[in-house]
Chain A
């Protein structure tokens, strides 16, 4: 085995034979494209709703504007962006990464298709329920707000579909492992498998919430639901969900970005260490979303705070490794001095600029996250516009802008079609960044002033405090419009490339090579089974006692309410 990997750069990069005329190098490219196109469509619809919301919050008159439409729209935007766009994109990207980096076809592609259709059917059911106006419960669907049963069933199907994706991913890896015992896992595959493991751990919580509590309750088979228990199960899922979004972006930062920038991956072992830490610590942290909830003792909230800060560490590692990789790229291009390397980087390449701006935004977002997680400081910002600013910087930009950039890189490689409207693709990331600076900064500022999130309009019948933050909301509305324009440019490039570009030779899907020679064998970071078992143990410790204590308390559930 090691004979044909004598270059000391194993896992490094895998070149798929470009097939002239044929659209892609693997039979599963249709499955990948199907997942990616659902993601792009969900993103487009979600962005259209978003601009209306941003204008409404600034109290601008719009046709059809009403609280009913607003909260319906926020529900649709949250679900389509945070759950549908991300999940489908990650499923598509996961398949691509696995089969390209392992250099083999997917195992059970059929199951991949079944999963795709199940997830799509679930999305359609939930979307229909939202659009019918019977399910304006927002994407967090906290009971006792009660949605139409189709909303919960749809959500459950989306999750079941994603489990099918997990099976395909794990089986493909297992087959490769059988043929390559003892070989180091290619780094991007390592990251993707970490994503799969986190997703499986996370979805246990939400599946329990939806299947045991919410579906029977919405069908009238169960009279009441305890909102604290439901929220605890939701956030068991809700925080690792963040890492489910982020890890695939990290895979791109580690394994695609340095390649596109013309450099090397600075440190392969640090990257693996980071992924393993994410597997261990992304789930036992959910209570940090419930600092201000009654019914949960302070000690457990503090315990989850500690693991929340531990999970900052792998993100620090990522920042270091990726920035060092870019410096390597700049220096390989002849940069001297301290900062000259920055100017040598390919700022007009849409993958590069998207990801670089996404990372920059994430640095600010991560700082805000450290504030949110501070057990005592959290009370200043909990449920204010600050939070909305925070997650638009993180998932809305660090993950979403990375995914947009990734699609510019991926689409030609999957279809053999050259990007259409290249100029639009080049300015789009900068526009997104500019819009997000306005939108994000204003939301952080108004949040500190005390303006709540999830708000149709923010004037509070002329209250003085509200007058102060209302001066700012117009800026975030402008930011919203800029973001919308950027989103539409992205859609135009995707659709334009898809429809009006002739297929030619597909460029190869290649990943960055590590700078330091990589160990040949399977190191301790590659023992994913072991790490998974440890992660399960940590989740059990973190949740067994708090949930057990809740269940032992005499609690009174709540009947459903539909105030929309």
Chain B
């Protein structure tokens, strides 16, 4: 079978056909194509430039720490045996946290305003999320891995912490509280 079996026909009286008129239109089409292509490509380059620039210059990176842990013994692992907030000698604050069905341990976290706070978290069961509502502190907590990231909360206040990854029938009640203490700058 070949193409001739499929009837290829001209546009029935639709106005624009091939021929002279078609060629004129063709030239204009090409011009518009070019303008648009370069414009769109420029926009894409700007986007990429912005992302790469902020990543490189401002060191803005999502939490990407690589450290593993056996989830089946995470609760007794020395790194996570006593969840809570500690002050390090250099003045920064460390929060060790377990995310498990269906609570964060500890459930309430108190950190000082205006100082870098490093969160270290893992899960002894399924995947959870850790999101401090009203901030951009947001990370996945996965069994077998340690999530680590550092944020500074400039303003004192109270924030709801929610689990934002489905973790079972109690997912929608899994929450905690973050209290940022200190005076407003």
Residues of A at the B interface (CB closer than 8 Å) are 1, 4-5, 7-10, 12-17, 67-68, 71, 102-104, 138, 142, 144-145, 179-180, 183, 226-228, 262, 264, 266-267, 269-270, 290-298, 301-302, 305-306, 309-310, 312-313, 316-317, 320, 324, 328, 332, 370, 374-376, 378-380, 382-384, 449-450, 452-458, 460-461, 463-466, 513, 515-517, 553-559, 561, 563-564
**In the bound complex, how far is the Cα of B33 from the Cα of A515, in angstroms?**
12
> Which 7 A-B pairs have CB atoms at the shortest separation, nearest pair first?
A103-B6, A563-B168, A450-B133, A316-B40, A383-B164, A452-B164, A516-B26
Q: Please encode chain B, from 160 to 173, with 1 for each CB lying within 8 Å of some chain A CB and 0 for all others.
A: 10111111111111
Which residue from chain A places its CB closest to the CB of B22 in the assembled complex? Answer: A517
B23 & A517 in contact (Cβ 8 Å cutoff) = yes
User: Are the C-beta atoms of A16 and B47 separated by less than 8 Å?
Assistant: no
**8 Å CB contact of B3 from A138, A183, A382:** A183
Most interface-central of A138, A317, A324, A450 (chain B CB within 10 A)? A450
Q: Which of B40, B127, B168 contacts A317 (CB 8 A)?
A: B40
Complex CA distance for A564 and B168, rounded to whole angstroms = 6
Decide if B37 is an interface residue (CB 8 Å cutoff): yes
* Contact stretch, chosen from B9-17, B78-86, B87-95, B105-113: B9-17
| Known A227-B142, A227-B144, A465-B133; contact A563-B10, beta-carbon cutoff 8 A | no
Q: A324-B32, A517-B22 are in contact. Are A298 and B64 (CB under 8 A)?
A: yes
A327 CB to nearest chain B CB (Å)? 10
Q: Which of A104, A270, A466 contacts B6 (CB 8 A)?
A: A104
- State the Cβ distance, A452 to closest chain B Cβ, in Å: 4
User: Are B144 and A454 interface neighbours, CB within 8 A?
Assistant: no
Measured between alpha carbons, how far is A421 from B170 in the docked complex, in Å? 44
Q: Is the CB of A179 within 8 A of B1?
A: yes
Docked-complex contact A306 and B48, CB < 8 angstroms: yes
Interface SS of A by simple majority: loop
Interface string of B134-173 (1 = CB under 8 A from A): 1011111111111110000000001110111111111111
**How far in angstroms is the closest Cβ of chain B from A295?**
5
B62: chain A residues at CB < 8 Å are 291-292, 298, 301, 375-376, 378-379
Residues of A within 8 A of B9 (CB): 7, 13, 15
- Closest-CB distance, B144 to chain A (whole angstroms): 5
Q: How far is the CA of A4 from the CA of B64 in the complex (A)?
A: 60
Q: Quick check: A332 and B145 within 8 Å, CB to CB?
A: no
Interface residues of B in 123-138 (CB under 8 A from A): 125-127, 129, 131, 133-134, 136-138
Partner of B14, one of A262, A269, A374, A449: A262
Residues of A within 8 A of B11 (CB): 9, 12-13, 264, 513
Distance, CA A68 to CA B69, complexed state (A): 31
Q: Are B146 and A294 in contact (CB under 8 A)?
A: yes
**Do A295 and B142 touch across chains, with their CB atoms under 8 A apart?**
yes
Name B59's closest neighbour in chain A (CB-CB): A298
CB of B16, distance to nearest CB on chain A (Å):
6
Residues of chain A with a CB closer than 8 A to B159's CB = 465
Roughly how many angstroms separate A36 CA and B41 CA in the complex, as a whole number?
37
